[in-house]
């Protein structure tokens, strides 16, 4: 079973790369961002709870995020594995994931980290906001999200490096080139 996490700052291309990897390796794909956007579009109770939080560029509370992911992973436990995009985002979330994985007799195979500098991120997200209409892709929100990433999520890289399963990959370049580099790292741990 291949269970992967993918990291990188907002706009690093995690979603694009993760979907391609999930298809190539036939993994269940879970994106917290997509789950929350689906719920907001449905106007569900969860969607209403997280809408204001997401539009401000803040993180959804751990208990909500963890409960949803645990439920989805258990539903699809019998597959080839999974790829988590957008989770964990903090050390407490990583620790909660570790506890859940141990309880379910699962393990994280590798942690992919797309390395992209902030200037490139800001450029990418402003362009995405202009084409997609995403409300959270404006300069103020982008800078806030990068600050949140640097303070809360970037420490996870050291957390997983200490565990020996961090796989850093250059996240700048052609989509197919980045995908190939990610696959090289995955194939080393398969």
Which residues are annotated as catalytic? 14, 89, 128, 134, 145
Compute the distance between CA of residue 112 and CA of residue 115 in angstroms, rounded to an integer: 10
Q: Please give the span between the terminal C-alpha atoms of the chain, in angstroms, as a whole number.
A: 9
Compute the distance between CA of residue 2 and CA of residue 81 in angstroms, rounded to an integer: 5
Beta bridge partners of 190: none
The token pair that represents 138 in the structure block: 């404006």
- Contact between 35 and 46 under an 8 Å Cβ cutoff? The reply is no
Compute the distance between CA of residue 3 and CA of residue 149 in angstroms, rounded to an integer: 23
C-alpha closest to that of 5 among 130, 134, 106: 106
Compute the distance between CA of residue 1 and CA of residue 78 in angstroms, rounded to an integer: 9
The token pair that represents 116 in the structure block: 């992209």
């Amino acid at each position: 079973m291949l269970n992967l996490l993918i990291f990188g700052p907002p706009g690093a291309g995690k979603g694009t790369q993760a979907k391609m990897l999930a298809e190539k390796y036939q993994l269940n794909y879970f994106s917290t961002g997509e789950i929350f956007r689906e719920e907001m579009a449905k106007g569900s109770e969860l969607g209403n709870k997280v809408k204001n939080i997401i539009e401000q560029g803040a993180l959804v509370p751990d208990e909500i995020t963890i409960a949803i992911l645990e439920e989805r992973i258990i539903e699809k436990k019998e597959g080839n594995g999974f790829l988590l995009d957008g989770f964990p985002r903090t050390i407490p979330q990583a620790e909660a994931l570790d506890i859940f994985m141990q309880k379910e007799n699962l393990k994280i195979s590798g942690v992919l980290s797309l390395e992209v500098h902030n200037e490139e991120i800001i450029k990418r997200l402003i362009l995405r906001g202009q084409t997609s209409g995403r409300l959270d892709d404006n300069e103020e929100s982008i800078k806030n999200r990068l600050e949140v990433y640097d303070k809360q999520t970037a420490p996870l890289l050291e957390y997983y490096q200490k565990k020996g399963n961090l796989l850093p990959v250059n996240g700048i370049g052609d989509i197919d080139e980045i995908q190939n580099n990610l696959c090289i790292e995955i194939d080393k741990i398969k």
